[in-house]
Amino acid sequence: MIVTLTLNPSLDRTIEIAALTRGAMMRATATRLDPGGKGVNVARALAAHKIPTCAVVPRNGPEGNQLTALLEVEGIDVCAVPVTGHTRSNVSLVEPDGTVTKINEPGGSLGSDDLERIVAATLSAAVGADWVVASGSLPPGVPDGFYGRLGTQLADLGVRFAVDTSGPPLAAALACGPALVKPNRDELAESVGFPIDTVADAVRAAEAMRVAGAEAVLASLGADGAVLVDRQGVRYGESPVDRGRSAVGAGDAMLAGCLAVGSTGGDALTEALTEALAWGAAAVRLPGSRMPGPADVDRAGVHVHAEPDLSRPLRGSHQPHGMEQTR
Domain membership flag for residue 42:
yes
Domain count within the chain: 1
Residue 296: which domain range? Answer: 2-305
- Specify the pLDDT at position 310: 92
91-96-101 Cα angle (round to 5):
30
- Inside any domain, residue 132: yes
Angle ∠(8,13,14) on CA atoms, nearest 5: 125
In a domain, 327, yes or no: no
Tell me the per-residue pLDDT of 100-144, one tens digit each, with 9 for 90 and over: 898 988 888 999 999 999 999 999 999 999 999 999 989 888 999
Instruction: Name 65's Cβ contacts closer than 8 Å, sequence gap at least 6.
Output: 59
In a domain, 168, yes or no: yes
Q: State the pTM of this model.
A: 0.90
In a domain, 312, yes or no: no
pLDDT bin (cut points 50, 70, 90) of residue 316 is low
**316 C-beta neighbours (distance < 10 Å), count:** 10
139 falls within a domain: yes
Distance CA 120, CA 113 (A): 11
- Is 252 a catalytic site residue? yes
CATH of the domain at 78: 3.40.1190.20
**Residues 200-252: tens digit of each pLDDT:** 999 999 999 999 999 999 999 998 999 999 998 999 999 988 777 778 789 99
Overall residue count recorded for the chain in this entry? 327
In a domain, 169, yes or no: yes
In the sheet that holds 77-82, the strands lie side by side as 77-82, 53-59, 2-5, 131-135, 160-164, 180-181, 217-220, 226-230, 233-238, 303-305
CA 179/CA 17 separation, integer angstroms: 40
List CB contacts of 92: < 8 A, sequence separation 6 or more. Answer: 12, 13, 14, 15, 100, 101, 102, 103, 246, 248, 288, 289
Residue 172 has pLDDT above 90, yes or no: yes
| Active-site choice (12, 252, 296, 298) | 252
Q: Please check whether residue 320 lies inside any domain of the structure.
A: no
320 has a pLDDT exceeding 70:
no
